[in-house]
Amino acid sequence: MKRVIIVLMLLWSLGVQGQDKKKDFKIADGVTGHVDLFNKSMREGVACFRIPAIVTAPNGDLVCAIDERVPSCGDLKWSKDINIVIRRSGDNGKTWTEIETVVDFPFGQSASDPSMIVDEVTKEIFLFYNFMDLDKERDVYYLHVVKSADNGKTWSDPVDITSQISKPEWKPDFKFITSGRGIQTRDGKLLHCMVNLKNGGHVFGSDDHGKSWYFIDTKIVPFNESKIVELDDGRLMINSRVNGLGHRYVHISEDMGKSWVSTPDTTLTDPGCNASIIRYSSKKDGYKKNRLLFANANSKKGRVNLTVRVSYDEGKTWTKGKTVYEGGSAYSSLTLLENGEIGVFFEQDGYKKNPFVSFSLEWLTDGKDKYKKPRKRARK
């Protein structure tokens, strides 16, 4: 019996040591920048910061938006005080402004899940979020947008676009604009994803630079938090979170969202978590290669192992990728810096930190590929 107890104690000790080692994760060596932008110690009374979104503004500044969750770390329907805050950088992420509040409603009303679209034509940034009045209409989701015409320094008053991008009969449904970012297509359209957990995913957009918004009434399934990109041939591709499968789903449209072909991508391991996909380069912009970037928690179970991959064939296949952080890694958002480097803004270690990390394409590909300034200016 004593031997059994000794063996059990030894196994327990080894297990504890193993857990301690697992907890001692660090951001990968070789990155060019790393700074924790948001944690609860930065503002008194804040329970946590969650749901990161990053874009590169028309002037090259970086804009990071996130939920400031005050009384608790709960999601929108569980918290009466969630605000949208940002930090900005004018030097590719080396230094940042102090935390600035963009959306702050009276107690009882909350704003959550920021996402952004940059309009390269009008030089405006649109910031979307989901709104709820927990005192008067608990469980009723409204969809809002604000915009900035000065690269994120100041923002307009909120505009409720719920009636433009959803159906009246959806009022009691769990619906939301997916956090992260949307896109501007080559012909100037603004496109983004929204989710109704009862009625599938949908694309919404604007053809007049955000003066008005429309809803494409085509159900996309399976669908949860998703990101949209325009492929080099003009087709649209959505990369979707799907819970319980251990991998991502991809949806392709050849008719600007009127119809979709959906297929699983078992090569993109995923625990059921929000991810990020953006275009890095296009031959149409003077680059020698088409490149897409994808970031997610690369794990079938558990939100860990933030990995960034490259696709050279418009999302048909992906590189093995490189791990930015092995430890706790949840939602992530990618952007392209003015100097050609890549920036990722993500939730770390159970939402305790929200770092910005930058690195070169050469680092990401272990020297197999590197950034070369195109003959024509690349779009972000």
Burial class (CB in 10 A: 0-12, 13-18, 19+), 44: exposed
Task: Kindly name the residue from 75, 230, 270, 347 that is annotated as catalytic.
Answer: 75
Structural tokens at position 27: 């951001």
Q: What's the token pair of residue 292?
A: 């897409």
| DSSP character string of 219-251 | EESS-SSEEEEE-TTS-EEEEE--TTSSEEEEE
Active-site option among 68, 124, 225, 265: 225
Please say whether the beta carbons of 361 and 348 come within 8 A: no
Place of tokens 């927990």: 134
Is 113 designated active site?
no
In the set 129, 141, 287, 331, the catalytic residue is 331
Which residues does 371 contact at the CB level (< 8 Å), separation at least 6? 340, 341, 360, 361, 362
Contact (Cβ atoms closer than 8 angstroms) between residue 37 and residue 96? yes
Closest C-alpha among 322, 333, 304 to residue 359: 322
Whole-number Å distance between alpha carbons of 138 and 172: 10
Active site residue 331: yes
The catalytic site residues sit at 75, 225, 331
